[in-house]
Amino acid sequence: MSKQIDSIDEELSEWLRRQHVFFVATAPLCADGHINCSPKGGDSFRVLGPLEVAYQDYTGSGAETAAHLRENGRILLMFCGFEGKPNIARLHGQGEVIAPDHADYESLDALFPVNPGTRCYVRVQVERVSTSCGFSVPFMDFRSDRDTLDKFAASKGPAGLAEYRAQKNAVSIDGMPALPMPAMNDSN
């Protein structure tokens, strides 16, 4: 049964931190635009306050989330309990891309491990927190984090990552502006 709660309390915060994967969903305002849902992993999520969270966004083959956030800010983060008791948590809110040229970038950067693939952070002002049973979510055992993206980013180096991001992350699949390329240099 779904339950809406006022904020992210300590118990939920601890549960969120223990999850190895979470999902981010966004959508453009236009009806024929593509909805996006992306898995996120690694040590990339932080609870900043009762109604504020952030995640470390790694270089990827697209930048749909950034494009949608620039357009309308709407975002949903969903966590599923694959280990332990069944649970699902959803955090609905307004997200903001924090690129290296943003005034808050360094303070967020200090909260996360150094990663060569970090392209920005996404900070979310949470407007709705809900949990549900997760009874049908299967048990899945965590083996380890993958290092494929880390190796890819390290092999590209800062210049190669900047070129890759310029090719793959400047606009969404719907042609919407995504990540600002002049600010996309590695400070990590």
Q: Which amino acid is at 18?
A: R
Domain-embedded: residue 109 = yes
Q: Which of 41, 44, 62 shows the shortest CA–CA distance to 54? A: 44
**How confident is the model at residue 181, as a pLDDT?**
67
Alpha-carbon torsion (92, 37, 165, 155), positive or negative: positive
Residue 182: pLDDT over 70? no
Give the CA-trace dihedral at 14, 17, 18, 23, to 10 degrees.
Answer: 130
* pTM: predicted TM-score of the whole model, two decimal places: 0.93
Give the helix/strand (H/E) hosting 99.
none
Local structure of 112: helix, strand or coil: coil
Sorting pLDDT into bands at 50, 70 and 90, what band is 187? very low
Measure the N-to-C terminal CA separation of the chain; round to a whole number of Å. 42
Q: What is the pLDDT of residues 140-181, one digit of tens each?
A: 999 999 999 999 999 999 999 999 999 999 999 999 999 986
* Predicted confidence (pLDDT) at residue 71 exceeds the cutoff of 50: yes
The confidence band for 68, taking pLDDT boundaries of 50, 70 and 90, is: very high
Boundaries of domain holding 113: 3-134+145-183
Domain membership flag for residue 177: yes
Structural domain tally of the chain? Answer: 1
Residue 122 lies in a domain: yes
Three-point CA angle 39, 160, 173, nearest 5°? 45
- CB under 8 Å to 155, separation ≥6 — which residues? none
The CATH number of residue 95's host domain is 2.30.110.10
Residue 139, in any domain of the structure: no
- Residue 36 lies inside a defined structural domain of this protein: yes
pLDDT digit string, tens, across residues 115-130: 999 999 999 999 999 9
